[in-house]
Amino acid sequence: MQNILPALSHVQKRLADAAANAGRADQTVQLIAVSKTFETPDILPVLEAGQRLFGENRVQEAQKKWPGLRKIYNGIELHLIGPLQSNKVEDAVQLFDVIQTLDRPKLATALAREIKKNNAKTLIYVQVNTGREAQKAGILPEDFEGFMRLAKAELGEHVVGLMCIPPVDEDPRPHFHMLRSMAASQHLPHLSMGMSADFEIAIAEGATHVRVGSAIFGTRPKAPIVSA
Ligand SMILES: *Cc1c(COP(=O)(O)O)cnc(C)c1O
């Protein structure tokens, strides 16, 4: 595989090195390959190489790509990492194994209803706006405790983690650190943080899931990171 997909191998090596440096077993960190904007022909070799966790940021785009791929490959785990509109909740629950972007009470209620209706096993992460950015989605740190009470009341055991996207122009480490202590305070085992440029730092700060796009697939043709 080394020669076929050097970019994926390189990311796997970076991940293993970062885990080792943090004194962690590398199986404690899951690599989510972020395939947004890339088409099936770009995704197939990554699946062939054995990668099974993928992230998409748009429900409709994921619906076009993944049902077909799931017929060919077993064990695919799909994560929604972009904002979820209320009118897409039904589709999202049917398609995604993990929804990382719970960010408002109304969405918690809608997700709870759909999960119950579909008897789904969907796992939910709460997105936290650690940098308090106006344009970015996520629960503000000061609202976090109250929101977690509501989310757990609505969704119970489905809520298992937190996710954040630090401000692009800041050192991400304090943001990762903050997210880790928030997760610990709520006994949430999953921590989704770190992207192509900073996932080693996230692993040092306790990430269990890193979301890596361009370092695997190359530069995206269009569509900037959607986070609001
Ligand atoms: C696009 C995206 C990523 C991946 O970003 P890269 O810098 O390409 O690794 C990770 N997380 C979210 C929420 C994204 O939208």
Compute the distance from residue 30 Cα to the ligand 1 centre, in Å: 15
Full-model pTM? 0.95
Residue whose tokens read 């440096």: 21
pLDDT of residue 223: 55
Quote the percentage of the chain above a pLDDT of 90. Answer: 94
The token duo for 60 is 């409709």
Compute the distance from residue 196 Cα to the ligand 1 centre, in Å: 7
34 lines ligand 1 (CB under 6 A): yes
Q: List 77's β-bridge partners, or say none.
A: 53
212 lines ligand 1 (CB under 6 A): yes
pLDDT of residue 188: 98
The token duo for 47 is 């699946």
193 lines ligand 1 (CB under 6 A): no
What is the C-alpha separation between 129 and 138, in angstroms, rounded?
4
Shortest-distance Cα residue to atom 15 of ligand 1: 225
Which of 209, 115, 97, 120 is CA-nearest to residue 164? 209
**Cα 36 vs. chain centroid, distance in angstroms?**
12
Amino acid at 147: F
pLDDT of residue 220: 86
**Sites in the chain below the pLDDT cut of 70:** 1-4, 222-228
DSSP 8-state code for residue 49: T
Burial 9-27 (b: 16+ CB within 10 A, else e): eebbebbeebbeebebebe
Compute the distance from residue 195 Cα to the ligand 1 centre, in Å: 6
